[in-house]
Amino acid sequence: MVDVAALGARALRAIDTRAEDLVALSRAIHADPEVAYQEHRAAARITDLLERAGFAVTHGYVGIETAYRGDAGGGKGAGPTVAILAEYDALNEIGHACGHNLMALMGTAAAIGVKAVLAELGGHLAAIGTPAEEGGGGKVALIKRGGFGDVDAAMLVHPNASRTLAGRHSLAANRVMVEYFGKAAHGASQPDQGINALDGALQLFNAINAMRQQLRPDARVMGIITAGGSAPNVIPDYAQARFSVRALDRRYQREVLGRFVACAEGAAQATGTTVKLTIPEESGYDNMVFSTPLAERWAAHMTALGQPPYEAKDDERVGSTDMGNLMQILPAIHPYVAIANDDVPGHSVAFREAACTDLAHERALLAAKAMALTAIDLLARPELLQRARAEFEERRAQGIVSGRAATVVTS
Q: What is the 3-state secondary structure (H, E, C) of 339-369?
A: CCCCCCCCCCHHHHHHCCCHHHHHHHHHHHH
- pTM reported for the whole predicted model: 0.87
Q: Chain centroid to CA 330: how far?
A: 16
Query: Mean pLDDT, to the nearest integer, of 32-40?
Result: 98
Mean of the pLDDT values across residues 73-78?
66
Residue-level pLDDT at 315: 66
CA-based radius of gyration for the chain: 23
The predicted model gives 245-256 an average pLDDT of 93
The separation between CA 110 and the C-alpha centre of its own chain, rounded to angstroms, equals 18
Give residue 282's pLDDT: 80
Over residues 146-190, the pLDDT tens digits come to 999 999 999 999 999 889 999 888 889 999 999 999 999 999 999
Residues of the chain above pLDDT 90, percent = 87
Using the predicted structure, report yes or no on whether residue 411 has a pLDDT greater than 50.
Answer: no
pLDDT band, very low/low/confident/very high, at 386 (cuts 50, 70, 90): very high
Cα–Cα distance, 271 to 122 (Å, whole number): 65
pLDDT at residue 316 is higher than 80: no
Torsion sign, CA atoms 325, 326, 327, 328: positive
Separation in Å, CA 134 to CA 173, 259, 319, 323, 348: 12, 24, 11, 11, 14
Sign of CA pseudo-dihedral 309, 323, 411, 39? positive
Q: Which secondary structure element, helix H or strand E, spans residue 5, and what is its range?
A: helix 4-17
Q: Which domains does the chain have, with CATH numbers?
A: 4-170+286-397 (3.40.630.10), 172-283 (3.30.70.360)
